[in-house]
Amino acid sequence: MIKRMLLMLITVGIVLGGVFWFINFKGQIIKQVMTAQGEPVQTVSTIPASFQEWLPKLEAVGTLQAVQGVDLTPEVPGIVSEIYFQQGDNVALNAPLLQLRVGDEKAKLAALKATAELSRITYRRAQEQYEVKAISRQNVDVEQANMQVALANVEQQLAIVNKKTVKAPFAGRIGIRQIDLGQNLQDSTVIATLQALDPIFVDFFMPQQSLAQLKIGQTVTLTLDIYPTEKFTGKISVINPRVDVNTRNVQIRASLKNSEHKLLPGMYANVNVGTGAAQHFITVPRSAITFNPFGAAVFLVQSGENQQLLAKQSFVVTGEARGDQIAILEGVKEADTVVTSGQIKLHNGSPIQVNNSVQPSNDPAPQLKDQ
């Protein structure tokens, strides 16, 4: 019985020993093969670090406002008899735009003028009679008062007749017509909108902490999504003398030339206010920055043995970011080649190869694009 137990234990030991030996042998073979192959080369994209000129600025979102803009309405009710404007026209100051039916009012004006003329004649005769002592001074005063009332009635009716013609209160572009011939208008009915487009205002808000950096005449630059390749410049014309107690913001107004009428009231725009001299920063795409518990870092490209490119990690101090770019204050020198994508696969000393056929965005002012 004891011999059988010993034989069984020896057999089990031999089997287990063979298994452990095979596992160890397999691991050594794999290690030798991996060592012979070396570390795999990682594909990355790169960009040379370079200086960019950045102007210190304040940013806000503004709303464009017409220097003068109104919804035209008649001062008196009436029926439309003539329309003198075309939709979208540029009209001059005091140009007639609309005529309301005025026949009854003109007839009444003619009657009042006749009454006023009779009152003038009666007053003149009263003066002549007074000079020969035929009537008293009181009679002359009564006739004078009657004449003045008649003339005032003429002026009042003439004003009503004139109000039947709607004129442009200022020069500008008229919008979509809201009325039709023969329509009975009330004095609150909108005829069309009239907007003076050149120059044009942009209103925006800044926090009170920025007031020390703002002044009248300061240059502002506008960008709009509708014109992604264009910039519009103007100057600050008004700084509101009151800070909003709810938001602690102050309203700023700038004026811009708009001779081509590209800017329209109601549009929104990104507003940049330059606040100082240009500064030079080394910039890289934001995608080049990696973060870990020790701080922000980038991978630089260096040459190794046999002209093999290697990745070297460099910790950096970052500054202001604009769009897709970020300023590097420390850790990167001009002309250093910085890895912009693929760095998640890297460690210090990783062999790399460069493929720049696809690059991450590096635009300091990216714009939305329609797909």
Per-residue pLDDT in tens (0 to 9) along the chain, 371 residues: 777 787 888 887 888 888 888 888 777 776 665 544 457 888 888 888 888 777 667 888 999 999 888 899 998 898 998 999 888 888 999 999 999 998 888 899 899 999 999 999 998 999 888 888 888 888 888 989 999 999 999 999 899 888 888 999 999 899 999 888 988 988 888 999 999 888 899 999 998 888 888 888 888 989 888 888 888 999 999 999 999 888 889 999 999 998 888 899 999 998 888 776 667 778 888 888 888 787 888 889 888 777 788 888 889 888 878 777 888 888 888 888 889 888 888 888 888 888 888 878 776 666 555 54
DSSP-assigned beta bridge partners for residue 345: none
What length is written for the chain? Answer: 371
Question: CA–CA separation, 91 vs 68, rounded Å?
Answer: 13
pLDDT at 56: 67
Residue 25: per-residue pLDDT: 78
According to the model, what pLDDT value does residue 351 have?
86
Strand order in the sheet with 325-330: 50-54, 279-285, 325-330, 317-322
- Report which of 205, 212, 202 is spatially closest to residue 250, judged by C-alpha positions: 205
Structure tokens at 351: 């062999």
* pLDDT reported for residue 371: 45
- Helix (H/G/I), strand (E/B), else coil: 35: helix
Burial grade of 119 (CB within 10 A; 0-12, 13-18, 19 or more): buried
Q: Quick count: other Cβ atoms within 10 Å of Cβ 105?
A: 19
Cβ partners under 8 Å of residue 94, min gap 6: 167, 168
Burial class (CB in 10 A: 0-12, 13-18, 19+), 214: middle
Q: Would you state the structure tokens that stand for residue 304, as one six-digit string? A: 């190794």
- Three-state DSSP string of 291-306: EECCEEEEEEEEECHH
